[in-house]
Amino acid sequence: MTPFFIDEYILVGARVADTVNERSFVLKQVEDAKASAFDYYTFVRNAYLQRRRALVCDLADTTEENQQLYYPELDREEKP
């Protein structure tokens, strides 16, 4: 929750910084995927389709360990 007295442009700047930080967490994985894939677009498309199909069929592994891969901000939150 953000205080009402913080201007929106400051919040946008903070969100941009968070996005860049989150991207840096997966940069090595993206570089490895680009190096090993013959066609990177096809690689990403197939990975997305496989994950989406698993989510639709309720086959996706939703363990905490797997979720942290996609949502690194969970590492920063306090756990009860």
Does the residue 24 lie in any domain? Answer: no
Express each pLDDT in 32-64 by its tens digit: 989 998 999 999 999 899 989 888 888 766 555
Q: Whole-model pTM?
A: 0.48
CB of 37 closer than 8 Å to CB of 46: no
Q: Looking at residue 45, what is its pLDDT?
A: 93
The mean pLDDT value of the chain amounts to 77
Does the residue 27 lie in any domain? Answer: no
Does the residue 42 lie in any domain? Answer: yes
Specify the number of domains making up the chain. Answer: 1
Does the residue 39 lie in any domain? Answer: yes
Does the residue 54 lie in any domain? Answer: yes
Its domain, for residue 63, covers 34-71
* Tokens describing residue 56: 């639709």
C-alpha distance from residue 11 to each of 22, 64, 77 (Å): 16, 28, 18
